[in-house]
Structure 1
Amino acid sequence: MMRDQATFEPTKSRVTQPKFWGALPARWNSDVDDTLVCCHVRQETHDVKSFFFKAPDERAFVFEPGQFITLELDIDGEPVNRCYTISSAPTRPHTISITVKRVPGGKVSNWLHDNVVAGARVRVLGPSGEFTCARHPARKFLFLSAGSGITPLMSMSRAHHELGDDADIVFVHSARTPDDIIFARELDLIASNHANFRTAFVCERVGARTNWPGITGFLSLPLLKLIAPDYLDREVFTCGPAPYMQAVRNLLDEGGFDRKHYHEESFSFETIAEVASQLTTAHVADAIAADSQFVETSDFAPAPADTTYMVAFAKSRREIECGSGEHVLDAAKKAGVRLPSSCTQGMCGTCKVKLVSGEVAMKHAGGIRQREIDQGMVLLCCSKPLSDLVVDK
Structure 2
Amino acid sequence: MTRTANQARPKAPSPVVQLTVHQVVRETADAVTLVLNAPTANTVRYRAGQFLTLRVPSADGPLARCYSLSSSPVADNLPAVTIKRVRDGRASNWICDNVTAGMVLDTLPPAGNFVPRDWDAPFVLLAAGSGITPVMSILRTALVAHRNPITLVYANADRESVIFDRDLAELARRHGDRLTVVHLLETEHGLPDATLIASAIANPAGAHVYICGPGPFMTVARAAASSKGIDEAQIHHEVFVSLESDAFEARPAESAPSADGDQVTATVELDGEEHTIDWPKSTVLLDVLLDKGLDAPYVCREGTCGGCAYTLLSGEVEMLDNQTLDDYDLARGSRLACQSLPRSEHLAIAFDI
TM-score, with length taken from structure 2: 0.74
User: What residue number does 1:350 align with?
Assistant: 307
> CA deviation digits over 1:285-333, x for unaligned, max 9?
xxxxxxxxxxxxxxxxxx9697466766412346777654433334545
Q: Aligned AA for 1:329? A: L
Whole-angstrom distance in 2 between the partners of 1:310 and 1:155: 39
Structure 1 residue 184 corresponds to structure 2 residue 175 = no
Helix, strand or coil for the counterpart of 1:89? coil
User: What residue number does 1:218 align with?
Assistant: 192
Q: Is the 8 A contact 1:61 1:90 kept in 2?
A: no
Q: Which has a greater percent of helix?
A: 1
Cα RMSD for the two superposed structures: 3.7
User: What residue number does 1:391 align with?
Assistant: 349
Deviation at 1:96, TM superposition (A): 0.1
Structure 1 residue 168 corresponds to structure 2 residue 125 = no
> CA deviation digits over 1:93-149, x for unaligned, max 9?
4310011122234344344334543222234344344433463313x4321111211
User: What residue number does 1:256 align with?
Assistant: 229
Once the two structures are superposed, the pairs formed by residues 1-393 of structure 1 within 5 Å of their partners are 34-59=17-42, 62-71=45-54, 81-133=64-116, 135-138=118-121, 140-162=122-144, 167-196=148-177, 197-204=179-186, 206=187, 215-221=189-195, 224-225=198-199, 227-232=200-205, 234-260=207-233, 262-270=234-242, 307=262, 313-316=268-271, 317=273, 323-333=280-290, 337-357=294-314, 359-370=316-327, 372-385=329-342, 390-393=348-351
Q: Aligned AA for 1:142? A: V
Deviation at 1:240, TM superposition (A): 1.9
Deviation at 1:383, TM superposition (A): 2.5
Q: Is the 8 A contact 2:270 2:350 kept in 1?
A: yes
Whole-angstrom distance in 1 between the partners of 2:90 and 2:277: 31
Deviation at 1:168, TM superposition (A): 3.0
Return 5+ residue gaps in structure 1 as ranges: 1-29, 207-213, 273-302
Say which structure, 1 or 2, has more relative contact order (CA 8 Å, 6+ apart): 2
Q: Is the 8 A contact 2:31 2:83 kept in 1?
A: yes
Q: Is the 8 A contact 1:314 1:391 kept in 2?
A: yes
Q: Identity of aligned pairs, percent?
A: 28
Q: Is the 8 A contact 1:37 1:120 kept in 2?
A: yes
Helix, strand or coil for the counterpart of 1:84? strand
TM-score, with length taken from structure 1: 0.68
- The 1:105–1:217 alpha-carbon spacing in structure 2 relative to 1, beyond 3 Å, is closer
Return 5+ residue gaps in structure 2 as ranges: 1-12, 245-255
User: What residue number does 1:284 align with?
Assistant: none
Q: Is the 8 A contact 2:112 2:306 kept in 1?
A: no
Q: Is the 8 A contact 1:41 1:52 kept in 2?
A: yes
Deviation at 1:162, TM superposition (A): 4.7
